[in-house]
Amino acid sequence: MQWAIAARLNHPWFTSSNGLMSLPGSTPAHDADQRVIQTREKARMEAAPVLIERREGYRVVTLNRPRHLNAFTEAMHQHLKRALAEAEDDGDCRALLLTGAGRAFCAGQDLHERVDKDGKAIVLGSALDTYYNPLVRRLRALPFPVVAAVNGIAAGAGANIALGCDIVFAARSASFVQAFAKIGLIPDCGGTWLLPRLIGPARARPLAFTAEPLSADKAEAWGLIWKALDDAELMPQAHALCARFTAAPSVALALIKRVLDQSWSNDLDTQLELERDSQHEASLSPDYDEGVHAFLQKRPAVFTGRRAM
Ligand code: T3D
């Protein structure tokens, strides 16, 4: 603790003449080793197409190809797939924050990977089955809220992956572009399903036909996203929401996600039956017992997020 304070105060113990931090008793050789490790770590972080940060009770996943506006490559898909699987397997993870590095959220498929060695555009058959469709399904199946913090432009698959998250915050400088028609494709990643349902066909059609950008403010006004925020507010608010979910009754939240998703294709009778069964499941969780007792005892509830014992 003392060391941390001294470091912050730029104590001579910790700051060598070259500006690198050194611990008491460290030698020039040790400093050089540290420098190599730091440089390697920095290079590894810069090269990783997806960054994962573990916070108390939730994870932050950052699409990390800023020079290419975080466009999706095969490698990025593989890293993202692993990041989501690890988050799902981590019993302590109760929310996930998805964002992009640099000035964009994601510009969709990296089009450099869509040209073959003869310079011809690659014909798309089952390509979506390999990465995009499983990705959208995986995001929907995660048993906790996925919060998108759309930090900049979200185009093509990038737009629809953001919109497929549970809660979408967007910076006021961000925009959503159904870029597909510009390159002779149709909206994918669930866009043709989600857009008419969220904003109606009268708005979905021109967005898809023209590929015109939709501002974050308009996206909020149209009910396409939860909130447009001042740029400086985006990450603090997204983190605050994820932190809040870490103290939430996670079993109920997982059920809410599933029941709301299934409502899209259920009639009322089927949905009522699903609500009955899911409510039964929720009531078996210790958090329900805690919630009721906390209310009756006029105190804040302390949820554990545990399943029934
Ligand atoms: O293929 C399948 O499996 C089917 C699935 C398809 C899903 C899809 O996502 S299809 C749609 C693919 N995405 C696009 O068509 C969007 C292409 N990008 C743009 O239209 C524009 O870049 C933006 C509107 C997103 C942003 O424009 P702007 O002016 O802010 O930036 P920029 O200058 O165009 O881009 C900056 C750099 O990122 C630039 O690189 P450079 O020239 O500086 O070396 C640009 O080439 C690169 N970049 C942007 N988007 C992509 C990209 N590189 C590869 N692929 C991209 N999608």
Using the mean position of ligand 1's atoms as its centre, give its distance from the Cα of residue 196 in Å. Answer: 25
Ligand 1 centre from 1 Cα, in Å? 46
- Ligand 1 atom having least distance to the Cα of 128: 3
* 219 and 228 Cβ atoms separated by less than 8 Å: yes
CATH no. of 250-296:
1.10.12
Give domain limits for the chain: 2-43, 51-245, 250-296
Is 155 near ligand 1, meaning CB less than 6 Å away?
yes
* Per-residue pLDDT at 10 exceeds 80: no
**Of all protein residues, whose CA lies closest to atom 56 belonging to ligand 1?**
110
Helices (H), 16-68: 28-47
Give the number of the atom of ligand 1 that is nearest the alpha carbon of residue 69.
38
pLDDT of residue 25: 53
Which residues does 30 contact at the CB level (< 8 Å), separation at least 6? 22
Distance, CA of 142 to CA of 167 (rounded, Å): 13
- The residue-averaged pLDDT of 25-50 equals 75
Higher-confidence position of 231 and 39: 231
Residue 31: the pLDDT is 80
156 lines ligand 1 (CB under 6 A): yes
The answer to whether the beta carbons of residues 43 and 85 sit under 8 Å apart is: no
Q: What is the H or E stretch that residue 175 is in?
A: strand 175-177
Mean pLDDT of 182-199: 98
Q: How far is CA 158 from CA 21, 23, 125, 238, in A?
A: 39, 44, 20, 18
Least confident of 20-24, 124-128, 157-161: 20-24
Nearest to 276, CA basis, from 268, 290, 145: 268
Q: Is there an atom of ligand 1 within 6 Å of 69 CB?
A: yes
- Nearest atom (ligand 1) to Cα of 153: 25
Name the residue with the closest Cα to ligand 1, atom 23: 107
Percent of the chain, pLDDT > 70?
Answer: 88
Q: 3 or 157: whose pLDDT is higher? A: 157
Q: Who's near 198: CB < 8 A, 6+ residues apart? A: 163, 222, 223, 224
Domain at 51-245, CATH from 2.30.110.10, 3.40.50.2030, 2.60.40.10, 3.90.226.10: 3.90.226.10
179 lines ligand 1 (CB under 6 A): yes
